């Protein structure tokens, strides 16, 4: 019986000219990592596709699903691998169509990677189509919009046959766009923003500001859970945690109430940029969406943005909350973000935050405390936890202080998790 492999399709990498082979190699590396729990025999490039074969020759839907979540993958098909024997690949086509679920119409689409094979693609279409018409006499052949397309792909001495594809997440392989530092809270937005830049090929280094020691460390657990939820995409290798509670208290005593949030955020951006420089990251990423909350008006965004000189990417700036929540469900972070936890954002909140900050007032508040010493101290006391799930992540050499690795959220100490 013909073996089954996962046949991986990608679109955009094909457009990358000279970089194409490094993009493909990165995708192969990332697939190895994403499939490390499966008995993979080989992952190799063939003629504009990637083939994943298993030791037992029985690639499964679950494997295809894992592959579909890896950035760079446009589609994945479970394909039968046959020799050049016509009888063999026609039988594989019969099986593939038989497994395609409910359908009324079909067509055959043959391709050859070289002209070395004796039959032309039109001949293959006719041959395989004839066999399928006999086996499925009640079904129609439909050239324009068939319910199912049976693909017969002749490449390097083999014929791959499949009738069904699972859509992938698309984008580009993580590790091909450089590193970014993402500001990660346990809310809905920033995990989605992280995922979106990761899907465009960035290796993501999240930084979380916790309210510790003024709050419990629940938000830190949730952020670790979020990083684990993003594991199938292979985009995060390390999470930084900055205990910010004490410093927020100092800020809340020093600056006018209405400017507290902007001042916290100026400190957060400055610390994140320092971490980005340590990491060799080239941009910051936030989950801001225009006008969503007080700190996300254009005036306030400007008052915070002026702290940093590197680009700040805001992939959700034009998204509505509903769209963001839908994406959070797709990427597996929704349930985690549903659990509320105090973090630095809920600590020492003003009753009436400024929505249109005036820069002169912001600057006056900023100069009313020793912000440089505070930023230095926060960077000196950063903590981090590593996750073995991102092949493209390279850690900087210079850091020593590790954060405790926290278990999944169902191991929360009683009374901490998921409480409103
Ligand atoms: P989110 O759902 O991402 O928390 P939000 O709607 O709560 O966003 P804000 O609290 O204004 O909005 O945060 C805007 C952005 O600032 C977040 O998307 C995130 O990138 C960053 N941010 C907020 N809180 C934190 C935090 N505790 N640590 C790190 N970054 C944060
Ligand atoms: Mg938030």
Among candidate residues 145, 167, 189, the one where a domain is terminated:
167
Tell me the pLDDT tens digit for each residue of 320-365: 999 999 999 999 999 999 997 776 667 677 777 778 889 999 999 9
Average pLDDT of span 297-319: 95
Q: What is the CATH number of the domain that holds 380?
A: 3.40.50.620
Q: Give 189 Cα–ligand 1 centroid separation in angstroms.
A: 7
Give the tokens for residue 369: 């405390």
Q: How confident is the model at residue 11 (pLDDT cuts 50, 70, 90)?
A: confident
Q: Cα angle at 371 between 366 and 372, to 5 degrees?
A: 135
- Among 114, 140, 167, give the residue marking a domain's end: 167
Per-residue model confidence (pLDDT) at position 110: 97
Q: What is the pLDDT of residues 119-159, one digit of tens each?
A: 999 999 999 999 999 999 999 999 999 999 999 999 989 99
Q: How far is the CA of 306 from the centre of ligand 1 (A)?
A: 18
**Has 394 been labeled as part of a binding site?**
no
Give a yes or no: residue 413 inside a domain.
no
SS3 393: coil
The verdict on whether residue 209 carries a ligand-binding annotation is: yes
Greater model confidence, 380 or 272: 272
Residues 162 and 191 in one domain: no
Lowest mean pLDDT among 54-63, 199-208, 406-415: 406-415
Starting from the CA of residue 189, give the closest ligand: 1
Q: For residue 175, which phi and psi values (nearest 5 degrees)?
A: 110, -5
pLDDT digits (tens, 9 = 90+) for 218-251: 999 999 999 999 999 999 999 999 999 999 999 9
Whether residue 362 sits in one domain with residue 290: yes
**Could you tell me if residue 74 is inside a domain?**
yes
* Shortest-distance ligand to the CA of residue 344: 1
Instruction: Say yes or no: CB of residue 262 within 6 Å of ligand 1.
Output: no
- Domain presence at residue 99: yes
Q: Is-above-0.85 flag for pTM? A: yes
Domain limit, last residue, from 122, 137, 167: 167
Q: How much distance in Å is there from the Cα of 338 to the middle of ligand 2? A: 12
Can you tell me the distance from the alpha carbon of 36 to that of 41, in angstroms, rounded to the nearest whole number? 11
CB atoms closer than 10 angstroms to residue 94 = 18
Task: Report the range of poorest mean pLDDT among 20-24, 97-101, 204-208, 306-310.
Answer: 20-24
Do 114 and 200 have their domain in common? no
Range of the domain at 216: 179-408
Does the pLDDT of residue 419 top 60, yes or no? no
Determine whether the annotation assigns residue 48 to a binding site.
Answer: no
Instruction: Note whether residue 193 is domain-resident.
Output: yes
Q: Is the same domain home to 138 and 233?
A: no
Helices (H), 280-418: 298-305, 321-331, 334-338, 359-366, 371-380
Q: Give the closest ligand to the alpha carbon of residue 378.
A: 1
- DSSP structure class, residue 141: E
Residue 11 placed within a domain: yes
Residue whose structure tokens are 């119409």: 105
Chain centroid to CA 70: how far?
A: 7
Residue nearest to atom 18 of ligand 1 (CA): 287
Nearest atom, ligand 1, residue 337 CA: 2
DSSP code for 236: B
Residue 265 annotated as lining a ligand binding site? yes
Dig out the tokens for 68 from the structure: 């579909």
User: Is the CB of 297 within 6 Å of ligand 1?
Assistant: no
User: Is 415 a domain residue?
Assistant: no
Q: Are residues 141 and 21 in the same domain?
A: yes
Instruction: Please say if the pLDDT value at position 408 is more than 70.
Output: no
Number of structural domains, the chain? 2
* Residue having the nearest C-alpha atom to atom 17 of ligand 1: 287
**287 assigned ligand-binding residue:** yes
Collect all residues with Cβ–Cβ distance below 8 Å to 280 and sequence separation of at least 6: 179, 396
Q: Is 153 among the domain residues?
A: yes
Helix 61-68 and helix 20-34: axis angle, to 10°? 130
Highest mean pLDDT among 106-115, 176-185, 338-347, 349-358: 176-185
**Segment holding 385, helix H or strand E:** strand 383-386
Atom from ligand 1 closest to the CA of residue 344: 27
Mutate to test the pocket of ligand 1, among 188, 195, 296, 345 (most ligand atoms within 8 A of CB): 345
pLDDT exceeds 70 at position 14? no
Strand positions, DSSP E, 169-321: 179-183, 203-210, 238-243, 284-285, 312-313
Summarize the confidence of residues 260-283 as an average pLDDT: 96
Residue 248 lies in a domain: yes
CATH of the domain at 122: 3.30.2130.30
Q: Whose CA is nearest to atom 24 of ligand 1?
A: 185
Rounded Cα distance between 388 and 218, Å, is: 22
Q: Residues 99, 184: one domain? A: no
């Amino acid at each position: 019986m013909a073996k089954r492999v996962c046949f991986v399709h990608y679109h955009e990498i094909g457009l990358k000219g000279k970089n194409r082979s490094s993009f493909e190699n990165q995708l192969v590396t990332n697939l190895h990592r994403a499939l490390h729990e499966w008995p993979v025999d080989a992952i190799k490039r063939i003629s504009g596709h990637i083939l994943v074969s298993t030791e037992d020759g029985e690639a499964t839907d679950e494997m295809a699903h894992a592959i579909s979540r890896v950035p760079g993958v446009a589609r994945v098909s479970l394909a039968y691998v046959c020799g050049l024997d016509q009888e063999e690949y026609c039988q594989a086509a019969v099986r593939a169509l038989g497994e395609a679920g409910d359908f009324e119409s079909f067509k055959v689409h043959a391709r050859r990677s070289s002209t070395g094979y004796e039959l032309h693609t039109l001949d293959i279409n006719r041959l395989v189509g004839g066999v399928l018409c006999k086996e499925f006499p009640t079904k129609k052949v439909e050239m324009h919009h068939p319910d199912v397309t049976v693909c017969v792909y002749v490449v390097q001495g083999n014929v791959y046959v499949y009738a069904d594809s699972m859509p992938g997440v698309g984008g580009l392989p993580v590790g091909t766009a450089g590193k970014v530092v993402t500001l990660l809270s346990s809310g809905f937005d920033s995990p989605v923003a992280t995922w979106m830049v990761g899907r465009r090929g960035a290796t993501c280094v999240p930084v979380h500001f916790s309210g510790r020691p003024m709050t419990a460390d629940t938000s830190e657990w949730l952020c670790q859970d979020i990083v684990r939820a993003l594991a199938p995409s292979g985009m995060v290798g390390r999470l930084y945690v900055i205990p910010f509670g004490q410093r927020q208290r100092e800020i809340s005593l020093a600056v006018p109430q209405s400017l507290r949030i902007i001042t916290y955020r100026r400190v957060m951006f400055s610390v994140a940029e320092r971490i980005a420089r340590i990491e060799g990251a080239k941009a910051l990423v936030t989950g801001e969406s225009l006008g969503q909350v007080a700190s996300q008006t254009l005036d306030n965004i400007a008052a915070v943005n002026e702290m940093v000189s590197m680009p700040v990417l805001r992939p959700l700036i034009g998204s509505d909350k509903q769209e963001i929540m839908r994406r959070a469900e797709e990427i597996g972070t929704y349930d985690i973000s549903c659990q509320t936890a105090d973090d630095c954002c809920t600590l020492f909140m003003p009753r009436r935050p400024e929505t249109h900050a005036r820069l002169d007032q912001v600057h006056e508040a900023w100069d009313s405390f020793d912000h440089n010493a505070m930023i230095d101290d926060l960077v000196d006391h950063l903590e981090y936890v590593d996750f073995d799930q991102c092949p493209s992540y390279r850690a900087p050499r210079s850091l020593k202080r590790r954060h405790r690795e926290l278990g999944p959220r169902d191991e929360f100490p009683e009374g901490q998790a998921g409480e409103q």
